[in-house]
Structure 1
Amino acid sequence: MKILVTGKTGQVGYELERSLQGLGEIIALDRSQMDLSDLAQVRDVIREIKPNLIVNPAAYTAVDKAETEPELAMRVNGEAPGLMAEEARKLGAAIIHYSTDYVFDGAKVGPYIENDPTCPINVYGASKLAGELAIQAAGVSHLILRTSWVYGMRGKNFLLTVLRLAQDRNELRIVGDQHGAPTWCRTIADTTAHIVAQAKGAQYSQDWWQENSGLYHLTAQGQTTWAGFTEAILANAVLPKRPAVTAITAAEYPLPAKRPGNSVISCEKLISKFCGLPAWEQALKLCQD
């Protein structure tokens, strides 16, 4: 099986290249080799490689910058996944794509499930929703995996920002009224690999995809706030001095893009069908060890 992985230098892409080893021939590409803003290049690369499976973690992820670059965000997050799905269908291949909790407005009380109505409140969320819809409309075997609050020990993410700020600040003022599940990029990659192994092991793989294609939520289990996440990061870290964490409201820290107040998404569908998921605290500790 030939597996094409996009965005190999990103948080999830880097981990996927490791996690998918042994499941097929892994062809992992970075943006210089497959730029999702260049739709002609995306099409040409897929036609040249002829993969059996496309795994697409590459995305435009600058949530605030997207407010001033909506066309670029929509091309990378909306149009490119749709094109990949169409090319996969022509090849008789499947696609695994990653989406976000930001497709919801955050107004619901309690965790969101997969078929709850979507209502993005920022450009990034709207662009990711467009990608979901384009893949679903392509008639291709697919898994769309929504995740949230992704972090790791490389790239740009909240964990590394907190560790950097903790070096020279006595106090960290962090939003405490937005709720979600911090998710280690390795959890996403390892869960994806588990699912791919299950699909590969099925006696009639095409039947497996017909039965299991669809939308799933994939996050660590439990929930916290950004302030609570910060407290946990600092508790795990070895620091000469630990700064105090002061919880503030999102209104006290305005950003160009609005964020949902409730980003908690239920993973019961994925857990019941494929595999368990770790508690966010457990995954964070493993990441920081």
Structure 2
Amino acid sequence: SDNVAVATQDGTVGDSGTTQFGTSIRLNSDVPVGFRIAVEDIECGDKLLSWGNVFGVANCDIQTGEAVYNKASVDAIEVSGRITTTGITENFVDYSPKYSSDSICIANPQRIIDSKSAPKFMGYQRDGDRGIGTRNYIAVVATSSLAASCARLITQRVEHLADVLDNLNGIVCVEHTEGARANASNTDIVLSTLAGFLLHPNLAAVLLVDHSGAKVQSTNIINYLQSHHDDIVPVTNQTVIMDGDPSQSIEQGVQIVHNWIVGANSAARSAHDVSELKIALQCGGSDAFSGITGNPL
């Protein structure tokens, strides 16, 4: 069974909480939301388990209620400034299992598939070399944490529109905690991630929501696309800027999404070779909520 749990909110020394199994835990160290806490005493050398999988090895004794950190997480906290790093030290190292080449087997390495008999799937053909989508959504994307509330309110106003449509799977909000600070060390990663939504084959349109006081703006995302993916045409997109009265920005965003509904719902599935199907083989590595909270796409 797991010997750590994920914090669902920021906690400080002395706070108490309960695991999903009813176990009461009292914190003896600060822990930011998304980081893990020991739910039992862990001895130096013991493996750390989350969701039944080993992800680390303790390099010192870890007490119940103590947050667990590797070097990367300590560095990330120090850069983010979310909580003080005073007293926070690395207490586990990543677990890297050793594999033998004898345990790897390649089945049918010379297999040739006849294109006429190849499996098919029903998907949405996207223009501009974006590929084939398996779903059809409109996304409202906050370009920074400062724009998150506006993006959420716009989505709440329009998400019901997809309920009665046959070909539009939904209208989803994409919000996050980054992009606000001018001196953040992860701006390139944020730009790369947000730019990916404009290239995503599961999207029919994207509304970008800017906040005038944030570091990351939609113009930065478009410039990133032109520099790194100039061979792919982005999805239909427009920008709403939060500057002054937020209600005006919300109304503008709602109207833009309304204007996209008919076109997005007109998309139709067609048959495509399975070779066109894109399957993600690597986790985004975002945080401990990966696998707990679902990707809206």
TM-score normalized by structure 1?
0.33
Query: Which structure features the higher share of strand residues?
Result: 2
Q: Give the TM-score normalised by structure 2.
A: 0.32
Greater C-alpha radius of gyration? 2
Q: Which has the higher contact order (CA 8 A, sep 6+)?
A: 1
Q: Which has the higher helix share?
A: 1
